[in-house]
Amino acid sequence: MKTIVVTLLTFFAAVISAIAQDFQGMAVYESKTSTSDFQSSFAGNRDITPEMQKMFEERMKKMFEKTFVLHFNRNASIYKEEEKLDAPGQGNSGFRMASSMMGGGGTQYKNIKEKTYSVDKEVFGKEFLVKDSLPVLEWKMGSETKKIGDYTCYKATAMRKIDQSDFRNIRMKKDDEKKNENESSNKKVEEKSTNFMDQIDMPTEIEITAWYTPEIPVNQGPENYWGLPGLIMEVNTGKTVILCSKVVLNPKDKKEIKAPTKGKAVSQKEFDEIVKKKMEEMREMGGGRGGFQMRVGG
């Protein structure tokens, strides 16, 4: 009798383990980034017609409002922008480059067990495979709760270093900031700079507010966010909000969760340096008057 009980317990343990390993979920996230800084920088510019302003705002919306799908199991996940039919002029390399810098493009793979990630990105006509260790955030757990869909979520906050190739966190410098910089470097201020790189400021660190639900006990979330005792349903960085709009557990059609392999393998730091160097080259090619212009199509 004892042997039968042990055999049954072993059998059930094996079944539970197999079910756990086969577990998979799918979550849809809507990502929106504030464009107020960019829009205000163009306000009052006499060279920009109302038609140009409207076109600019439409293309900014295309870059800054995205839908992503996260497929996850207990150990790994893939996060990818939902494929949409490109409008005319938005399938070119310039738009893809700008979109990539605003958090889109490529397949982002996280392996929670190994604490690594990889993402394939196409910038400047070249394919890169960024592979690195997952950022370990020191989450501060809160007691505040709120409902997201049908799930009760808990608040957590952390400080995070910013990848310098992620332009969603940039802000436009104020005129007095640019003036003080020019004066400190003994530059003569003759006219308002139209060089894009001279007008932006990139922080090195930001505060993250996340909302997670223990009702889905997986160590997963959108982008490179992880490390909470439940699926991360919302991330707020101040300028960007990533909000889960749909969750399906154990979907009928399973998704193969594997790391991307295409592109030149580089670390995140190396990739940031490549982007920075290329941006500087484009800035110099633009000359002193216009400088680098972030074209997003056309």
- For residue 7, the model assigns a pLDDT of 43
* Burial class for 80, CB neighbours closer than 10 Å (0-12, 13-18, 19+): middle
Output the CA angle 288-293-295, nearest 5 degrees: 160
- For residue 277, the model assigns a pLDDT of 86
- For residue 99, the model assigns a pLDDT of 54
Alpha helices in the chain (DSSP H): 2-22, 36-42, 50-64, 93-101, 175-184, 196-199, 268-286
- For residue 152, the model assigns a pLDDT of 98
Closest to 109 (Cα-Cα) out of 265, 258, 244: 258
Closest to 249 (Cα-Cα) out of 117, 47, 7, 70: 70
Contact between residue 148 and residue 247 where contact means Cβ atoms under 8 Å apart: no
pLDDT in tens, the chain (298 residues): 545 444 444 433 333 344 455 799 999 999 998 776 555 555 555 566 677 666 666 666 667 789 999 999 999 999 999 876 554 544 544 445 555 555 556 899 999 999 999 999 888 788 999 999 999 999 999 999 999 999 999 999 999 888 777 777 666 665 554 455 555 555 554 444 445 555 566 677 889 999 999 999 999 999 999 999 999 999 999 889 999 999 999 998 889 999 999 999 999 999 989 988 887 887 777 644 444 444 433 3
The percent of residues above 70 in pLDDT, for the chain, comes to 60
Overall pTM > 0.85? no
Closest to 38 (Cα-Cα) out of 7, 59, 15: 59
Give the N- to C-terminal CA distance of the chain in Å, as an integer.
77
- For residue 173, the model assigns a pLDDT of 60
